[in-house]
Structure 1
Amino acid sequence: MAKSSKRERQYEHVKQSEKQRGGRSARRAEEIAARTVNKQKAQSGETRGASASAGRSGGQRARSGGAERTKEQLYDEAKRRDVKGRSSMSKAELKDALGR
């Protein structure tokens, strides 16, 4: 696990979030939390030999602003915009509600 208390808190927070939000198993939630913390450490230069490309990893879908967004990404934006009825909307309905 992470050495700094900040990273330990981040690890526990991500792990709990993944268990609750994603309904993931404890093992999968731990894996996601560890990867998240490791990526953050690499991006901030906390690791020895941190890869220069660490900040660019994650693929195109993660930052895509267009039609290729996942339903989860659309839902998160709808939540930020306080779109009513978002929990029962399909991906297409979320796109329409967000004007995309």
Structure 2
Amino acid sequence: MYLQPTIFLLYAKNYMLPCLNKKLFGFECPGCGMQRSVSLIFQGEFLAAFTMYPAIYPLFLLFSFLLVNNFRKIKHANQIIITLGIVSVATILTNYLFKLLQ
């Protein structure tokens, strides 16, 4: 049975994992919003995805580069991976601090 991508996305929203940190302690973790952000990207809502979780695009670049580098070795790959990792972590921490201060 073949499911249309839009139908799959409608059902996927019902099965997103809840944030255990938010349920136990009452405040969001640094990864809160990532699932919803990916869902928004699949729906074509790119600005809303960035608003939901700003680190989604640096993480996407990092994982895309890691995937490409796995099949085709790129010169200076280590420096690029480290830079993308630092940008991703900095974006995650900055977003988390803004959430905590609100």
Q: TM-score, normalised by structure 2?
A: 0.30
Q: Which has the higher contact order (CA 8 A, sep 6+)?
A: 2
Q: Which has the higher helix share?
A: 2
TM-score (norm: length of structure 1)? 0.30
